[in-house]
């Protein structure tokens, strides 16, 4: 129901924030600043979104393939 969806949303948000913290280490941009940063060019922001979306999709497809191979064997 709605409580489950909200719980999964909170979990996903927490995981993404922790991942962003980990990825922002060593870039010279503090985490809080990286979160609040607004893109100067909307086209570049959309392009980054497409790249991130495609990377996520590829990762999920690879994991699905591995699981299917594992089940088949």
Q: Distance between CA 59 and CA 51 in Å, rounded?
A: 12
Q: How much is the pTM?
A: 0.45
Residues 6+ apart with CB under 8 A from 17: 35
Question: What pLDDT digit, counting tens, does each position of 26-67 carry?
Answer: 767 666 666 666 777 778 778 877 888 888 888 889 999 999
Q: Is 52 helix (H, G, I), strand (E, B) or coil?
A: helix
The total of structural domains in the chain comes to: 1
CB distance 35 to 20 below 8 Å: yes
The C-alpha angle with vertex 16 and arms to 12 and 19, in degrees rounded to 5, equals 140
Segments forming the whole domain that contains residue 62: 2-72
Q: Distance between CA 52 and CA 56 in Å, rounded?
A: 6
């Amino acid at each position: 129901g709605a409580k489950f969806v909200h719980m999964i949303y909170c979990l996903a948000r927490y995981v993404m924030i922790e991942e962003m913290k980990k990825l922002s280490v060593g870039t010279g941009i503090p985490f809080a600043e990286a979160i609040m940063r607004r893109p100067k060019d909307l086209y570049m922001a959309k392009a980054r979104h497409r790249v991130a979306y495609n990377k996520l999709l590829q990762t999920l497809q690879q994991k699905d393939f591995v699981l299917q191979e594992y089940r088949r064997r």
